[in-house]
Structure 1
Amino acid sequence: MSDKADFLSTEKEGHAAVGEVLHQHDYGAETELQRRLTTRHVTMIALGSSIGMGLWLGSGKSLASGGPAGIFLGYVLAGSMIWSVSHSIGEMAVMYPLPSAYVQWTGKFVCPSAAFALGWAYWFSYCITIANELQAVCTVLGFWTDKVPVAAWITIFWAVIIAINVFGVNVFGEIEVICSTIKFGWIFVVIFSLIVVSAGGAPGTDAQTYPVGFRYWNSTPFLNGFKGFLSVMPTCIFAMAGSENCGLVAAETDNPKKAVPRAVGSIWLRLSLFYLLGALMVTICVDPANPNIFGQDGTNASPFVIAYREAGLPPLAHMMNAVIFISVVSTGSISGYGGSRTTMGLAHLGMAPGAFKKADGTGRPWWGLFVTLLLGGGLAYLNVNNSASDVFTWFSNLTSLFTLFGWGLICLSHIRMRYAWKLQGRDPADLPWKSWTFPFAAWWGLMWCILLIIAEFYLSVWPLGEKPNAETFFANYISVIVIIVCYFGARVYYRGPWWVDASTVDLDASRRFYVEQDIEKAKRGGVMGALSKGVGFVFN
C-alpha cells in the first residue's frame, strides 16, 4: 500500500479535509452531521443570515422611540459588540468546530451550569426568532393585500421554513447563499437610491418641500432622552442576533480553518453596509413622527418602504417589500437550523435527551428540527389576536436578552480558553488561527453585554411611556429570570466548582488539528513515524 493510502486508512471516512490533522481520539468532536457546507456557504451565511425583520421593520419602531441619532448610535454600539464576538468565535470555531459551538465551549472553559443555561436559552431564542419572522411575513404581505387571514399566512410560510430545513443541509446552504446574495446586492440599491431621494432628486420630492439631507438630525436627533436611546438597544441587538451563526456551521464545513476566518473577516462589510449605512439612510429619509412606521397607527410598513413610497417611487417600494419578504423567510429558516444543532450539542453534553444526538444519513437532526420548528411555528400564532408591533416588542426583548447572555459567554469562553492555553504553557503562535483583537475585543464585548443586561432591567422596571407595572416587567425581562432558574437548577444538579479549573482543561479534546506546514516534514520522516504519534494526515 502506498504512503498516501496508509495515511488515508487512519482517518474516519468522510470526516477529514485536505491539509487537516485529527487526533484519533476526538472526544465527541465528530457527530452524525455531514460536512456538506463550503467556504462559499459559510461566507454568505455570515454576510446575510441575520438580516431580517430587526433591520428592515424594527428600525422604524426604534426610529420613533429614540430618534435618528439614537438609532444610529445604537447600531454602532451593537455593531462593535458583534464584531468583538465574531472574532472570539473565529478563534474558537477553527480549533473546536462543534455542533452547538457556544454551548460546548462554555461547558469546556467556563462551567457546565452556564453551558446548560446558555444552551436552552439559545434554543428558545431560535424558536422565538422563527415566530417573530413568521409574524413579520404577515406584516410584509399586508402591504399588498389584507384579504388573507393572518393564520393562513403563518401556516403557509411555516411550511416553507420546514421544507427548507427538511431538504438537507446542502439545500439549506444553497438557499441561504441565494437569499444572502439578493440582500447583499439590494443594499447597494438602497444606499444609492436613498441618497438621491434625500437630496430631493426623486420624482415626488424637491428641495423646497422634501426633507433634504440631515433635516431630521438637526430638528430631533434624540427622542425621549437617555431612556429613548436605551429603548432602541433591544431592537438593535435583535437585528444583529444570528450574526454569530458562522460558529455553528463550522461543524458542517469541510475546512473550518479556511472558511471561518473568511467569514469573520467579512463581518465589517455587513456591519457597515447593512446596519450602519442602512440605518443612516432611514434616519435621513423618514420622519420619526410618520404615522405609517411599523408600530405606529398607520399601515405599519417598513421605513425603507415608506421612504420610497413617499418619494414617488412605487416600483422601488414594491421591490423593497419583496426583499424584506425574502429576508424574513431566510432568517426564519436559519433559526430552525441553529435551534436543531443547539439541541444536538446539548445532547452530546448530556443536557438533553439522547435522541437529539441522532441525525440521518444526510446529516438532518430530525428530533431537534421537529421540536424547534414546532415550538417556533406555534408561537407565531400569538400574532392572530395581538398587534404585530406588540408581538414584535415582546419577542425582540426576549431574544435580545438571550442574545446578550450568549454573546457575553462567547467572549468569556474565549478569555478563559486563552487563559487555559497560557496556564498550560502553550504558545499563542500554535493556535490554528489567532485573532489580532485579543484580549481587547473579548473584554469589550463582555463588558457591554453585562452593562446592557443591567440597562434593560432599568427599562423593564421604568418602561418608556408607561408607569411601572409587573406585566411589562415580566414581558420584557422574563428571559433573565429563565436564565437564572436554568443556571441555579443546573448548579444544584451538577454541583462541583463554580469555575472549570483552567489547569485541568484538556485543550486537545474535541479539537481539530491543522498542520499543513508539517506535512512535508512527515513525508521526509516517513509515514510510520507520523502514525506512531497517533496522528493521521490527509492529502489531496
Structure 2
Amino acid sequence: MEDKNSDYGLTQITASSSRNGSIEAQHAADYGAETELRRLLTTRHVTMIALGSSIGVGLWLGAGKSLAAGGPAAIFLGYVLAGSMCWAVSHASGEMAVMYPVPSAFVQWTGKFVCPSAAFALGWAYWFMNVITISNELQAVNTVLGFWTDKVPVSAWITVFWVVMILVNVFGVNIFGEVEVICSTIKFSWIIVVIFSMIVTSAGGAPGHGPVGFRYWTQEPFKNGIKGFFSVLPTCVFAMSGTENAGLVAAETANPKKAVPRAVGSIWLRLSLFYLLGALMITINVDPNNPDIFGQAGSNASPFVIAYREAGLPPLAHMTNAVIFISVLSTGTIQGYAGARTTVGLAHLGMAPSPFKHADSTGRPWWGLFITLFLGGGLAYLNVGNSAADVFTWLSNLTSLFTLFGWGMICLTQIRFRYAWKLQGRSVSDLPWKSWTYPFAAWWGLVWCIVLIILQFYLSVWPLGLPSEAQGFFANYISIIVIVVCYLGARVYYRGPWWVDAGTIDLDASRRFYVKEEFEGVPRTGWRKGAHKAVEIIFN
C-alpha cells in the first residue's frame, strides 16, 4: 500500500510491524519507480561506474602538479589520506543507497536526516561542482591532445568533445551505462599495464635510462615542507571525487541491494591500484623538478607520459595519452549524468523548479541535462584565453571544496540515520545492508573533511609560492562562500530547528523494501547463464 503523504516531497511507503519490532513490507516497494527515471542499470554498470567514475584528469594530469608542489612522499601520503576518506564515504553512501535509492541520493538523505537547509546547500553545491568538473574535463582535452598536435584551436576541441558528452547522455541511461563500462574497463586494464611496466622502467629495464628506484624519495621526499604537503591534498581529493556516484546511480538500478554493496566492495581495489600504486609508480619514475610536469612547461603534461618518454618507450607514451583522453571524456560524461539527476532530486524536494522532476519515456531528464551540459560546456571556454595550468588549479580547488562538503554530509547523514534508527527502537539486523565500518569510518571521514576545509582556508590566505591577495583568496575559497550563502538563505526560508528531530523522522518514507529474492533481469539458462556468470566474474 502507498500513502501519498509526503516527507519533503517523498512518497511514503506503508509497512507492517512484526512482534520483534522489525519492519516487513507487504511487497517490494520501489521508490525509484515513483519518479520518471527508469531502473535500467545493472550490477555490472554500477560496479564499473564506481571503479572508473573518478579516474580522469585529477589522476592522470593532477598527479604531476602535486608531485611538483609537494614531492614524492607528499603525493603518496596525500593519496593515502584521501583514499581513506573516500573508502569511508563509500561505505556510508552504500548503506544509505541500499536503504533509500532515491534521485540525488545524498541530497535527499540530508534533507531527511539533517535539515532542509543543509540539503538545499548540498544539492546546489554539488550541481555546481558537476558543472565545474565538465568544464575542467573539457579544457583538459586541449592539454591531452596537445601531446600530438597544437594546430587545432582550443575552442574547436572544446566544441567537438562537448558534443560527444551531450550525445552520450541524450541517448539514454542504458547507452550511458554501456559506454561507461567500456571506458572503465579500458582505464582499469591500462593501469595494470602501467604499474608493471613502470616497475620495469624504474629498475632500469628500459632503453632510455638506468635504474631509478627510490632516488627521488631519498633526494627530496617533501618539497616546500608541510605547506607543500597541504597544497597536495586538494588535488588528491579532487582526483578521487566521484566515488559517491555509486550511491547516486542507485535510483536507476534494477536491484540496489545486489549492485551497490558490490560496487562499494570494489573500492579498495580502485584505491590500491589506481591511486596508491599509480602514485607510487610516478614517484619512482619522474623527477619532481622535471620541466615538463603539468603546470610548468611542455606538452608532455601527464607524469605517466613523461615517464614513458624518458624511458625511451614512445609507443607506451602514445597509448597512455590515448587512455588519458578516454578518461577525460568519461569523467565529463558522468558529471553530466550526475548533475541532471541532482536537479531531479532537488525538484522532488521542492528546491528546484518543478519541470526538473520530469523525464521522458526512456528516463531522460531533459531539463536537468540541458542546463547542466550547457553551462558546463560554456564555462570550458574560459580556457581559450587563459593558461591551462591556471584554469586547472582554480577549478580543482573549487571542486575539492565542494567534494569535501559533500563527503562530510554523507558521513554525517549516516551518523544521523543510525542514531534515528536506534532511537526509534529499530534493530541494526533489520537493515537490508549494513556497513561493517560504522561508526569509525563515518566519524573518520567527517572529521577529516572539516580539517581539510580549514586547511584550504589557510592555503587560500597564504598560498604556496604566491603573495596573499584578496583576489586569490576569493578565487580559491569561493566554494565555501557559495555553500554558506545557500545554507543561510535556505535557513531564512525554511526556518524551524537546526536539526531534524530524530525521534519524528519517518524511517519508512522513501525507503525501498526488498522481497526475499530479487533478481536482475529474466532467468538465464544454458549458455546464457554461463556467459552471464563469466561477465559477473570479470566485472564484479
Calculate the TM-score normalised by the size of structure 1.
Answer: 0.90
> 1:121 matched to which residue of 2?
125
1:472-492 deviations in whole A, cap 9, x for unaligned? 101100000000000000000
Q: Distance in 2 between matches of 1:403 and 1:77?
A: 15
Instruction: Report the Cα offset of residue 97 of structure 1.
Output: 0.2
Cα gap change, 1:70 to 1:473, in 2 (>3 Å)? same
Change over 3 Å in CA distance of 1:28–1:364 after alignment to 2: closer
Query: Is residue 406 of structure 1 aligned with residue 406 of structure 2?
Result: yes
Query: Which residues in structure 2 correspond to 1:5-154 (within 5 Å)?
Result: 30-154=34-158
Distance in 2, matches of 1:266 and 1:449, equals 22
Aligned amino acid, residue 40 of structure 1: R
Q: 1:13 aligns to what? A: none
Contact residue 41 and residue 174 of structure 2 kept, 8 A: yes
User: Contact 1:36–1:253 (CA<8 Å) still a contact in 2?
Assistant: yes
Structure 2 counterparts to residues 486-497 of structure 1, below 5 A: 486-497=486-497
**In the alignment, residue 131 of structure 2 is paired with which amino acid?**
C
Aligned partners of 2:232, 2:416: CA distance in 1, in Å? 31
Structure 1 counterpart of 2:382: 382
Gaps of 5+ in 1: 1-9, 11-19, 519-540
Match of 1:184 in 2: 188
1:29-81 superposed Cα distances (whole Å, 9 cap, x missing partner): 72100000000000000011110000000000000000000000000000000
The residue that corresponds to 1:166 in the other structure is 170
- Separation in structure 2 between the aligned mates of residue 310 and residue 135 of structure 1, nearest angstrom: 26
CA deviation vs aligned residue, 1:375-428 (integer Å, no higher than 9, x gap): 100010000000111000010000000000000000000000000000000000
Q: What does 1:91-490 correspond to in 2, within 5 Å?
A: 91-207=95-211, 212-299=212-299, 301-490=301-490
Matched residue type, 1:133: E
Partner of 2:7: none
Alpha-carbon offset, residue 271 of structure 1: 0.2
Q: 1:27 to 1:175 in 2, by over 3 A?
A: closer
Q: Distance in 2 between matches of 1:38 and 1:355?
A: 28
Cα deviation, residue 27, structure 1: 7.3
Counterpart for residue 526 of structure 1: none
Offset at 1:22?
Answer: 6.9
Tell me which residue corresponds to 2:513.
513
**Number of aligned positions between the proteins:** 496
Q: Per-residue displacement from partner, 1:216-260 (whole Å, max 9, x unpaired)? A: 000000001111001011110110001110001100001000000
Structure 2 CA distance for partners of 1:34 and 1:272, relative to 1, 3 Å: same
Q: Measured at CA, do residues 203 and 21 of structure 1 come closer, stay the same or move farther in structure 2, by a change above 3 Å?
A: farther
Aligned equivalents of 1:152, 1:47: Cα separation in 2: 31
C-alpha separation between the residues in 1 aligned to 2:25 and 2:84?
34
CA RMSD between the two structures: 1.5
CA contact (8 A) 2:28 2:513 kept: no
Cα distance, 1:361–1:27 mapped onto 2, change above 3 Å: closer
Distance 1:345 1:425, change over 3 A: same
CA distance in 2, matches of 1:361, 1:299: 45
Asked if the contact 1:22–1:512 (Cα under 8 Å) also holds between the matched residues in 2, the reply is no
Once residues 256 and 21 of structure 1 are traced to their aligned partners in structure 2, the CA distance between those partners, rounded to angstroms, is: 16
Rounded to whole Å, the distance in 1 between the matches of 2:208 and 2:426 is 65
State how far apart, in whole Å, the 1-side matches of 2:227 and 2:210 are: 35
Provide the C-alpha distance between the structure 2 equivalents of 1:21 and 1:267, rounded to a whole number of angstroms.
31
Residues 29 and 511 in structure 1, CA contact (< 8 A), matched pair in contact too: no
CA contact (8 A) 1:29 1:98 kept: no
Gaps of 5+ in 2: 1-13, 15-23, 519-540
Q: Which moved more, 1:23-32 or 1:290-299?
A: 23-32
Please tell me whether the aligned partners of residues 140 and 321 of structure 1 are also in contact (alpha carbons under 8 angstroms): yes
Displaced runs of 4 or more, over 3 A: 20-29
> Post-superposition shift, 1:515?
3.8
1:297 offset after TM fit, Å? 2.3
* C-alpha contact 1:355 1:367 (8 A) present in aligned 2: yes
Percent identical residues: 81
Tell me the equivalent position of 1:533: none
Q: Deviations over 1:306-350 (max 9, x none)?
A: 000010000000000000000000000000000000000000000
